Amino acid sequence: MKKITVIGSMSIDLVVSASKRPGKGETILGDDFFTTPGGKGANQAVAAARLGEKVQMVGRIGEDDFGKEIYGNLKNNHVIVDGVEPVTHVPSGTAHITLSEQDNSIIVVPSANNEVTPDFVKKHLEALTEGDIVLLQQEIPSETVEYVVEFCSENGLVSILNPAPYREINKSIIEKVDYLTPNETESDEMFKGDLDDALSAYPMKLIVTLGDKGAVYHNGKEKVQVDGFKRDVKDTTGAGDTFNGAFAVALQKEYNLEKALAFANLAASYSVTGMGAQGGMPTLEDIKGEWNV
C-alpha cells in the first residue's frame, strides 16, 4: 500500500478564548484556557490517519514534556512516528491562539520545527516509492519546502503544498508542485491579482479553499466550485489542515479532483464542530452517513 508522508511542523497549542481580542497595550480577562496538540503538519497527519490511511510524520520535537505529548498524540492517532526525532537544546514548537468572535488569531513559535532541514528530511524522502504522496506546509524552513518539492518532482512522488502561513514562494516551486492549496487570503498574497486569473494560470493544480463555501479550481476549460457544508461552529482552528489531510486521502483513493475536494470539504466541515485543532477531525465512521465509503 502506498503511503502519505507529512513533512512539517508539530506544536502544542496554548488556546485562550475571550469575548474580544486585546488591542495594543491593552489587558483583558479571558474566559477559558486549554492546551492541545497542534501544528499544521501534525494536524494534517492526524486528519489523514483518522480517515483510515497509512500516514507517516517527518519532523522534530524538543526533548521536553510538550515533545512527549506531541509524540504520544501522533501514536494514539495511528500516525507512523519513525520520522519524528527529538532535537536537543531547542524546545518543542508552540502556537499561541486566541479564540474570539467565531475565529482564531495565531502566533506560532516554530522552535524545533526550524530544525526540519533538507539534510534531516533527505533519508525519509529517499525511502519513499513512486506515487507516494507528500504533504507540506510552511511552518518549517523554506529551503526544506523547496528541497522536498524538487525531490518529489524528480522522483515521481505526488506533492501537495499548503502554503500556510503565507510567505513568498519561488515561481519554480509553484511550477513543480503537483497541488497548491492556499486559502483566499494566502492566494491573494501569492498571486496579487484576480483569483480567476490565478486559477486559470494553474489548472488542476491551484485549489483555493473558501471556508464553508468550499473550494475552487480550474479544470482547463472552466472554473469549478465544489460546495462546502455549513455546521454549527465551535472552533475553526485546524479546518484547513483537515481539508489538506483529507485531500491527500482522497488522492490516495484515486478520486478525481472534483470528488476529492468534495471529500475534503466534508471532512473539514466536521472539524469545526469540536474544540482544538484536532478535536473535531472525523473518522470514516463519523462521515459515513454523508459519504459512501
Residue ranges at the known binding site for K(+): 235, 237, 271, 274, 276
Nearer to ligand RIB, 114 or 219 (CB): 114
Nearer to ligand RIB, 38 or 228 (CB): 38
> How near is the Cβ of 180 to ligand RIB at its closest, in Å?
17
| Contact call for residue 13 and ligand RIB (CB under 6 A) | yes
Asked about 241 being catalytic, the answer comes back as yes
DSSP state for residue 282 in the 8-state scheme: P
Q: C-alpha angle 268/269/273, rounded to 5°?
A: 110
Site for ligand RIB in 110-139 (CB under 6 A): 139
Nearer to ligand RIB, 18 or 224 (CB): 18
Facing residues of 86 across strands? 61
Those residues whose C-beta lies under 8 Å from the C-beta of residue 153, and which sit 6 or more positions away, are: 159, 176, 177, 178
Q: For residues 178 and 160, is the Cβ–Cβ distance under 8 A? A: yes
Beta strands in 23-151 (DSSP E): 32-38, 55-62, 80-87, 93-100, 103-109, 133-136
Nearer to ligand RIB, 36 or 56 (CB): 36
3-state secondary structure 222-274: CEEEECCCCCCCCCCCCHHHHHHHHHHHHHHCCCCHHHHHHHHHHHHHHHCCC
Residue in 162, 181, 236, 237 binding ligand RIB, rule: CB under 6 A: 237
Residue in 241, 268, 270, 287 binding ligand RIB, rule: CB under 6 A: 241
> How near is the Cβ of 188 to ligand RIB at its closest, in Å?
18
Q: At what angle do helices 118-126 and 142-155 cross, to 10 degrees?
A: 20
Site for ligand RIB in 187-226 (CB under 6 A): none
Catalytic residue among 119, 194, 241, 286: 241
> How near is the Cβ of 42 to ligand RIB at its closest, in Å?
8
Q: For residues 9 and 110, is the Cβ–Cβ distance under 8 A? A: yes
Q: Could you tell me which stretch among 19-27, 181-189, 213-221, 237-245 binds ligand RIB (CB under 6 A)?
A: 237-245
Q: Which of 272, 264, 282 is nearest to 233 (CA)?
A: 272
Tell me how far apart the alpha carbons of residues 156 and 164 are, in angstroms, rounded to a whole number. Answer: 24
Strands 103-109 and 93-100: antiparallel
Q: Could you tell me which stretch among 32-40, 123-131, 173-181, 189-197 binds ligand RIB (CB under 6 A)?
A: 32-40
| Contact call for residue 238 and ligand RIB (CB under 6 A) | yes
| Contact call for residue 240 and ligand RIB (CB under 6 A) | yes
Helix (H) / strand (E) containing 74: helix 65-76
Nearer to ligand RIB, 38 or 214 (CB): 38
- Residue 199 main-chain phi, psi, to 5 deg: -60, -45
Annotated binding-site residues read: 11-13, 39-43, 139, 183, 209-214, 235, 237, 240-241, 265, 271, 274, 276
**Contacts to ligand RIB by CB under 6 A:** 11, 13, 38-40, 43, 95, 106, 108, 139, 237-238, 240-241, 277
The residues assigned a catalytic role are: 241
